[in-house]
Amino acid sequence: MKIRIFLGVTVVLAMICAASSMAVAKEALFKDYNVVVVQAFKVPAGGPAPSTSGSETAEALVYQIGRYSQKYSLFDMVIKEGTAQVAAGKKVLLIKGEVREYTRPTVGRRIGRSFIPGGEYTGTAYFAAHYQFIDKATGKVLDEQDLRTSSSGRDDTVEYAIQRNAEAAAKYIYKNK
């Protein structure tokens, strides 16, 4: 009887270990890439976003990915498209996207949130973008992500929300490298 219980517990533990290793063994999407090239994001016409928000998003993304790349040794180069030449033989990850939301801060929202405990620390400016991660050599879309961020506290500007959005994208790349 004791042997059956021991074998049963052993089988259950083996199944749990196998299931958890399958969950952890997710393949990293960007592990083989040496260079990141960021295109200026598309900005829909007639929307609230100014036409410069696409290039501003790309510059913020280059800065944030470069910061993470320097800290964690992720890539050899992180550049905006057209600013530098990529060496031959390097595998290039192309990032492009579209601005989906651009909401400027308002005084009314700030006043309304000041009545909520801790609400004065939340921002009222929002920014959302759709990201495409593409293998430049083949043109194959590796992944797509929608990221939406807000400003926070005293930094209640859309520019700060864009920086936070770019940092969220950099964290996503770091987790999948």
Per-residue pLDDT tens digits for 69-106: 999 999 999 999 999 999 889 999 999 999 999 999 87
Read off the pLDDT of residues 58-67 as tens digits, 9 standing for 90 and up: 999 999 999 9
Nearest CA-CA partner of 93 in 15, 10, 173, 5: 173
Q: Which domains, and CATH codes, for the chain?
A: 29-175 (3.40.50.10610)
Write out the DSSP string of 66-99: HHHHHHHT--SEEEETTSSPPPTT--EEEEEEEE
Below-50 pLDDT ranges, the chain = 22-25
Q: What is the end-to-end Cα distance of the chain in Å, rounded?
A: 49
pTM (two decimals): 0.79
pLDDT at 17: 60
10's CB contacts (< 8 A; 6+ apart) are none
The predicted structure's pLDDT at residue 23: 45
* Amino acid 47: pLDDT: 87
pLDDT of 20 reads: 55
